Amino acid sequence: MYYVLCMKKTQLIDHFVTKDGKTFAGTHVILDLWNCVGLDDEELINHALRQSVKAAKATLLHIHLHKFQPNGGISGVAVLAESHMSIHTWPERGYAALDIFMCGSADPLLTVPVLEKHFKPSKVVQEKWYRGMVYD
């Protein structure tokens, strides 16, 4: 947490969101993509993550991807100023599991169409959670 001295008062500066009458740390989207293409393609996954971050209006700090052998599955994370995106792929099943958590003004729901465009799933299962909900 960062504290700023302002006119002899200490104020907490954070990136919590207030939306629809709720205050929370950020939005967490859990995404399952089925019957996908390109799940063993490191370059495609890197590009899809970068385009997703851009669509969400988030700030990319770093991407790290690791390709497993022999099946070519890839696990990776895009570290963001607003939190993170992670991906784990099972090419042999055509399945990708993504975790997209963003705070501030970034919108993780805007990543979904970008990911669908790149991986062409026939089935998408999506859940949305508000993390760090403030209850008065």
Strand 9-13 versus strand 2-6 pairing type: antiparallel
Domain that holds residue 34: 15-131
Taking the C-alpha atoms of residue 51 and residue 42, their distance in angstroms, rounded to an integer, is: 14
0.85 exceeded by the pTM? yes
With respect to residue 22, please indicate whether it lies within any of the assigned structural domains: yes
- DSSP code of residue 108: G
The set of catalytic residues is 83, 88, 103
- Is residue 4 one of the residues assigned to a domain? no
Element (H, E) at 63: strand 60-67
Whether pLDDT at 3 is above 80: no
Asked if residue 23 belongs to a domain, the reply is yes
Identify whether 136 is part of a domain. Answer: no
- Collapsed DSSP state (helix, strand, coil) of residue 1: coil
pLDDT digits (tens, 9 = 90+) for 121-135: 999 999 999 999 988
The count of other CB atoms within 10 Å of the CB of residue 57 is: 13
Does residue 34 sit within a domain? yes
Q: How many domains does one find in the chain?
A: 1
Average pLDDT over residues 52-56: 98
Closest CA to 133 of 35, 27, 46, 5: 27
Q: Are 136 and 30 in contact (CB under 8 A)?
A: no
72-91 pLDDT, tens per residue? 999 999 999 999 999 999 99
CATH number for position 104: 3.60.90.10
